[in-house]
Amino acid sequence: MVDEPVDVGGTDTGPRPTEMMLSAVASCFTLAIAHVARKHDKPLTDLEVQAFGEYNGPRFSKIWVVASSGLPKEDLLWLADRASRVCYVSNSLACEFEYTVA
């Protein structure tokens, strides 16, 4: 279930669609980092990924993720760089969007 806050006509009984989108970015990027770490035999513990968005009218003008772990920063940056190439959700944000009605 998704919803909107009361002040914009919703009942505030669920997350906003944009919150779900950021959650999808964070969870997919987390899985991508874990995948790259396993593939390169890099031990990975206590990984946390958060996604943030900057609104500009009816869209995000920017979405970014912040990853943290007990790994040294340069190792985590190496993993994140490679993960950005295989994260389906963040890569899909650059795709063409179409719609139709039936």
**Could you tell me the domains of the chain?**
23-89 (3.30.300.20)
Average pLDDT for 70-83: 96
pTM of the model: 0.89
Among 20-24, 78-82, 83-87, 94-98, the range scoring the smallest mean pLDDT is: 94-98
Mean of all residue pLDDT scores within the chain: 95
DSSP alpha helices (H): ranges in 40-87?
73-83
- 46: phi > 0 → left, psi -120 to 50 → alpha, else beta; which? left
Q: What's the pLDDT score for residue 45? A: 83
* C-alpha to C-alpha distance for 27 and 10, rounded to whole angstroms: 26
The percentage of residues in the chain with a pLDDT greater than 90, rounded to a whole number, is 89
